[in-house]
Amino acid sequence: MSRLTRSVDEFRNHVKRLGNCCLRIEEQFARGGLKVTDVELVYTSSFLSACSRWESLLEDCLYQTVCTERSTKTGNFRLAEFKSRQHFEKVLLHPRRNYLSLPSLDSATELAGLFVNEGRPFSKISETNQTYIQQAMWIRNAIAHQSEFAIGIFRKKVPGVSGLVRNRQSPGPFLRDVFRVTPDQRRYEVYFTALGNAADELRSAWV
């Protein structure tokens, strides 16, 4: 099993556990004793955790495409190769920074394009999943920063927010909102599914 495969499996399992946490908090809420704000806090914290792990997966995937086993897939040739992760970090990192930051899928694709043909495997993520991931980052920013600017972007650019009552147009109520009835699915599940599918696309495009 390749390291990228293990990383993707770990990511998917983590997101699954977060989703189960949201399901359990709903069950507890239905039995009484919890406030809506308590439930929404679990949703937002779970969403932040999923997004954080996604960013870690992007970073790990980048390192593996330039430092570890080569891909046998057609077109996945390297433009540059590094003997180790430490070597790559030394070349890439700014002298005043201690870690690599990949705040978006676009930035990961652009950076990968310097070292791998067409920025693969990041460039192979479907447009549908790219769209949901971008929305997820707007939601994440609104949760993490809680600034008027971040909340404004969230309300303006994330589909479905405007359908909520004005005083409920915030990440917690939105993530908990029912997206569809058949099959039963809440908003957070749409994004968790997209993140998991995108992780699978990274793996299948490289391994």
Model pLDDT, residue 68: 84
**Geometric angle at alpha carbon 132, from 123 and 129, rounded to 5°:** 40
| Kind and range of the H or E run holding 99 | none
Among 190, 193, 195, 187, which Cα is nearest to 171's? 187
- Type of residue numbered 100: L
- The pLDDT > 90 percentage for the chain reads 78
Mean pLDDT of 125-154: 97
Q: Looking at residues 6-22, what average pLDDT do you find?
A: 98
Contact 185, 175 (CB under 8 A): no
Amino acid at 111: L
Percent of the chain with pLDDT over 70: 96
Q: What is the pLDDT of residues 76-107, one digit of tens each?
A: 999 988 888 888 877 776 556 666 667 789 98
* Confidence class for position 190, pLDDT limits 50, 70, 90: very high
d(CA 98, CA 117) in angstroms, rounded, equals 27
DSSP string, 165-200: -GGG-SHHHHHHSEEETTTTEEHHHHHHHHHHHHHH
Backbone φ and ψ for 105, nearest 5 degrees, come out as -65, -35
What's at 150, amino acid-wise?
A
Instruction: Check whether the bond before 171 is cis (ω within 30° of 0).
Output: no
Instruction: State which amino acid sits at residue 32.
Output: G
Q: Who wins on pLDDT, 83 or 132?
A: 132
Task: Decide which of 136 and 70 is more confident.
Answer: 136
CB 67 within 8 A of CB 85: yes
| Other residues' Cβ atoms within 10 Å of the Cβ of residue 111 | 18
